[in-house]
């Protein structure tokens, strides 16, 4: 491939993009191991796709905010580099598929011209910081959480403490106790609170997660003052980085670490880490995310509605009054989260002057428009209808959340996208009144990993397979009873039964028919489910799991014509660890260089953390050379003492534990940065020499 250069105003970003291009070239030349390169590109938003030879590029949009100009830029890039489709995700990102790896630096540079990044959209990093899409206009919110989400995004982007963790780390900010950003399934979730009238702070939820083994987050603080937000997140991440699992990615999330060592011990470690954090108090710029300008008054005299009934349904389900008097928020239901680029351009053209120049992507793969005037609503409806985005029932039973599944994902087992459309058709055609019901959420994932959030669904499905007569057929695991309760309390859905995928529509009908027949007045789905009990639903659905009456059609998945066959690739939800001695020593040298660079720029805290990583990488390299593979950084520290220091193979003035863990016993001062960097450089030099001596 040819060398690529870019000209951007931000030298840090420009260096990042050029570095990606160099790494791609080195990978093509065989100079970087495949697995190591995977971790590098994932941290830059480049994700392997099910189809060979192409990539999915994930665009990181903090708290889902995107302007008209940015959306048009993304559409242009999707046409030039991808398949001409924008996929909205449950983490408020936009994904572009079918991108050539060699063109990703160029693509990234194009995005950065409108202040859009790929950095840390994937990989073992702090992922996109999400928030309630209505933050800033939510009538129930104590205050706008957008500036806090923005500050969190900015502070941890490219931060040394979270570049190579054992697993991904997810953070959310809900706008109110309604908890529409699902704090209870995040590594850290925050719900805004006011104390003593106007003192701002947050309720803190810790160590939640979905995946194959869902865990509900622990409420660890009822009120964290706003200026302690960033230091607290940093302390948590530093502990996770040091103690988290790094070999078995299935046990590497924060929830597993807390389960392993206990919540109290984890919180003690977090408290101990506060000495070393870069800041002890961090003032949030409340004006960092300003409210967008409202559109001018609109003359609606020439606006006609072709379908008045559908318009009234849309008004009732997709429109709400903002906390700003006289303005309305408009939710846009986007089927399976896909918007083709011609529709995206037409949408922007139709909405200009009718809503504010700020769109928020929602957690259920839709859009939120802001500052609509009442008289402009008919024109907004027509603009949406022109691009087939005016369906009523946003966030209702008829609004099914889904991941891409087998369409593009390596881990997909059975189809989710077509199934989502089929289930929505069932609602619109057979249960139309349920478009007003926001109590029940239907969510689908193509596998057990819950990218479609099936684990928090009232009615959920995840892709699977079944065997019958020595043949394999696509199936779905049915889950019931999950969802948001409020104020940080949530429910993980129960696995009830597995049925052939083509019977998912019958499952939906059976549950909804029973719900309509047996629920009592004002009863929520949760209450109804609890009253009936899990076994009741197992018995209700058991006939659908009967495999003695299969038809040939049931061996063909939704949206397919060929007979089903499981074809699961290697997942890339986070990078794979590289346990190669030479690679680790090279990385140690690279990290020592980053430490020196940060030191020369007087970034003491960054220099210290890069020095810490230099020490860890060097020690791990020597341990691997000896056949010892520790799965945590704290384990590396202990094992190095056991195998090298205690045995006399390596002479240090203190134990390796005491040398390394100075990091959380000292303020990040210039003096400590100087001494710690010197120790790291000396250790790296001496250990390289010791390794050569051991090999001789």
Domain boundaries, given as residue ranges, for the chain: 11-112, 130-276, 308-385, 410-555, 581-695
DSSP H or E stretch at residue 201: strand 199-206
Helix (H) or strand (E) holding 535: helix 534-541
In three-state secondary structure terms, 222 is strand
d(CA 434, CA 211): 28
The structure tokens listed for 364 are 């259920």
CA distances from 450 to 442, 460, 630 (A): 13, 10, 29
Q: Which two three-digit tokens encode residue 367? A: 């859009």
Superfamily name and number for 581-695 = Nucleotidyltransferases  domain 2 (1.20.120.330)
Is residue 420 within 8 Å of residue 336, measured between CB atoms?
yes
Return the structure tokens found at 215: 């865990």
With contact defined as beta carbons under 8 Å apart, do 272 and 303 qualify? no
Domain 308-385 is found in CATH 1.10.287: no
Q: Which residues pair with 332 in a beta bridge?
A: 367
Q: What is the DSSP letter of 164?
A: S
- With tokens 């680790």, the residue in question is 584
Neighbours of 92 (CB within 10 A): 26
Q: Phi then psi for 455, rounded to 5 degrees?
A: -70, -20
User: In Å, what is the CA distance from 558 to each residue of 344, 415, 423, 468, 555?
Assistant: 27, 6, 11, 18, 10
Q: How far apart are CA 181 and CA 162, in angstroms?
A: 22
User: β-pairing, 367-373 with 359-361?
Assistant: antiparallel
3-state secondary structure of 370: strand
Non-local CB neighbours of 528 within 8 Å, separated by 6+ positions: 515, 518, 519, 520
Strand order of the sheet with strand 130-131?
130-131, 171-173, 188-195, 199-206, 218-225
Question: How far apart are the C-alpha atoms of 490 and 267, rounded to whole Å?
Answer: 22
Q: List helix spans (H) across 244-340.
A: 254-261, 263-272, 308-318
Q: What is the DSSP letter of 484?
A: E
- Going from the first residue of the chain to its last (696 residues), give the mean pLDDT of each consecutive group of 10, the final group possibly shorter: 58 87 86 76 84 90 97 97 96 95 92 92 94 98 98 96 94 98 98 96 97 94 98 98 92 96 98 95 96 89 89 98 97 96 98 97 98 96 97 97 81 86 96 96 91 94 91 94 97 96 97 96 95 98 95 90 65 44 83 96 96 96 90 96 94 95 96 97 91 66
Q: How many CA atoms lie within 13 A of 196 on its CB side?
A: 5
End-to-end Cα distance, the chain: 40
**For residues 374 and 357, what is the distance between their CA atoms, to the nearest angstrom?**
17
The CATH code belonging to domain 130-276 is 3.30.413.10
- At 578 the pLDDT is 38
CA distance 252 to 266: 15
Q: What is the DSSP string of 26-62?
A: HHHTT-S-HHHHHHHHHTTTEEE-SSTT-EEEEEB-G
> Tell me: domain 410-555, CATH 3.60.90.10, correct?
no
- The single-letter DSSP state of residue 470 is T
In the three-class reduction of DSSP (H, G, I as helix; E, B as strand; rest coil), residue 277 is classed as coil
For strand 459-468 and strand 442-445, is the pairing parallel, antiparallel, or unpaired? parallel
Inter-residue contact 301 to 363 (CB < 8 Å):
no
DSSP-derived secondary structure letter, 631: S
**CATH number at 11-112:** 3.90.480.20
d(CA 51, CA 409): 8
Please provide residue 187's backbone torsions phi and psi, each rounded to the nearest 5 degrees: -60, -40
Distances, alpha carbon 431 to alpha carbons 393, 398, 513, in Å: 12, 9, 9
Residue 616 and residue 596: Cα distance in Å, rounded? 16
Kind and range of the H or E run holding 331: strand 327-332
- Rounded Cα distance, 94 and 205, in Å: 26
CA angle, 136 then 137 then 142, to 5°: 65
3-class DSSP state for residue 477?
Answer: strand
Q: Is 130-276's fold the same as 410-555's?
A: yes
Asked whether the beta carbons of 488 and 205 are under 8 A apart, the reply is yes
d(CA 418, CA 599): 53
Closest CA relative to residue 255, chosen from 217, 203, 204, 212: 217
Backbone angles phi, psi at 620, to 5 degrees: -65, -40
At a CB cut-off of 8 Å and minimum separation 6, what does 427 contact? Answer: 393, 397, 398, 434, 435
Output the six-digit token pair for 133.
Answer: 């899409």
Nearest to 662 by CA among 646, 643, 679: 679
Q: Which H or E element spans position 181?
A: none
For residue 493, give Cα distances in angstroms to 24, 105, 508, 511: 42, 41, 15, 15
């Amino acid at each position: 491939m040819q060398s690529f250069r870019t000209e951007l105003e931000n030298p840090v970003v420009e260096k990042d993009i050029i570095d990606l291009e160099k790494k791609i070239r080195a990978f093509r030349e065989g100079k970087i191991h495949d697995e190591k390169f995977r971790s590098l590109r994932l941290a830059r938003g480049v994700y392997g796709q099910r189809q060979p030879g192409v990539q999915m590029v994930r665009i990181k949009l903090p708290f889902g905010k995107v302007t008209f100009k940015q959306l048009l830029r993304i559409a242009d890039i999707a046409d030039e580099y991808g398949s001409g489709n924008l996929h909205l995700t449950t983490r408020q990102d936009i994904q572009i598929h079918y991108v050539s790896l060699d063109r990703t630096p160029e693509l990234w540079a194009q995005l950065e011209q409108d202040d859009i990044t790929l950095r840390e959209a994937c990989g073992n990093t702090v992922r996109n910081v999400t928030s309630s899409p209505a933050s800033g206009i939510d009538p129930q919110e104590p205050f706008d959480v957008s500036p806090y989400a923005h500050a969190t995004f900015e502070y941890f982007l490219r931060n040394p403490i979270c570049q190579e963790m054992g697993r991904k780390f997810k953070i959310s900010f809900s706008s109110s106790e309604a908890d529409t950003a699902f704090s209870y399934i995040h590594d850290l979730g925050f719900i805004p609170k006011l104390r003593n009238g106007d003192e701002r702070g947050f309720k803190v939820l810790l160590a939640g997660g979905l995946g194959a083994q869902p865990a509900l987050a622990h409420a660890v603080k009822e009120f964290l003052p706003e200026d302690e937000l960033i230091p607290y997140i940093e302390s948590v991440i530093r502990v996770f980085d040091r103690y988290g699992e790094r070999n078995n990615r299935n046990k590497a999330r924060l929830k597993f670490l807390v389960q392993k060592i206990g919540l109290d011990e984890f919180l003690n470690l977090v408290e101990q880490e506060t000495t070393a954090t870069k800041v002890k108090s961090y003032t949030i710029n409340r004006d960092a995310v300003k409210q967008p300008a409202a559109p001018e008054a609109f003359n609606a005299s020439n606006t006609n509605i072709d379908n008045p009934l559908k318009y009234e349904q849309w008004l009732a389900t997709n429109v709400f009054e903002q906390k700003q008097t006289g303005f309305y928020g408009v939710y846009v239901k986007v089927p399976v989260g896909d918007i083709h680029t011609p529709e995206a351009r037409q949408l922007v053209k139709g909405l200009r002057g009718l809503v504010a120049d700020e769109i928020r992507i929602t957690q259920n793969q839709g859009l939120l428009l802001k500052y609509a005037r009442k008289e402009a609503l008919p024109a907004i409806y027509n603009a949406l209808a022109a691009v087939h985005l005016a369906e009523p029932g946003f966030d209702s039973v008829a609004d099914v959340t889904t991941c891409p599944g087998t369409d593009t994902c390596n881990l997909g087992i059975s189809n989710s996208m077509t199934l989502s459309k089929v289930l929505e058709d069932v609602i619109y055609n057979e249960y139309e009144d349920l478009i007003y019901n926001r109590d029940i959420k239907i969510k689908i994932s193509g596998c057990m990993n819950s990218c479609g959030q099936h684990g928090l669904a009232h009615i959920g499905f995840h892709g699977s397979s079944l065997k019958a007569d020595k043949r394999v057929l696509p199936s779905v695991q049915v889950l019931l009873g999950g969802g948001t309760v409020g104020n940080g309390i949530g429910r993980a859905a129960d696995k009830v039964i597995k049925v052939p995928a083509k019977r998912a529509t019958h499952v939906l009908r059976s549950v909804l028919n029973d719900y309509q027949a047996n629920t009592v007045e004002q009863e929520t789905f949760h209450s109804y489910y609890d009253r009936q009990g899990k076994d009741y639903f197992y018995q209700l659905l058991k006939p659908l799991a009967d495999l003695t009456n299969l038809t040939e059609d049931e061996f063909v998945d939704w949206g397919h014509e060929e007979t089903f066959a499981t074809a699961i690739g290697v997942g890339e939800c986070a990078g794979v660890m590289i346990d190669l001695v030479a690679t680790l020593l090279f990385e140690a040298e690279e990290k020592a260089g980053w430490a020196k660079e940060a030191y020369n720029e007087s970034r003491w805290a960054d220099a210290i953390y890069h020095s810490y990583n230099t020490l860890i990488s060097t020690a791990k390299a020597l341990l691997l050379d000896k056949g010892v593979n520790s799965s945590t950084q704290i384990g590396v520290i202990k094992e190095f003492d056991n195998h090298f220091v205690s045995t006399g193979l390596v002479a240090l003035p203190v134990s390796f534990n005491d040398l390394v863990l100075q990091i959380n016993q000292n303020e990040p001062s210039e003096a400590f940065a100087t001494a710690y960097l010197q120790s790291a450089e000396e250790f790296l030099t001496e250990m390289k020499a010791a390794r050569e001596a051991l090999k001789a």
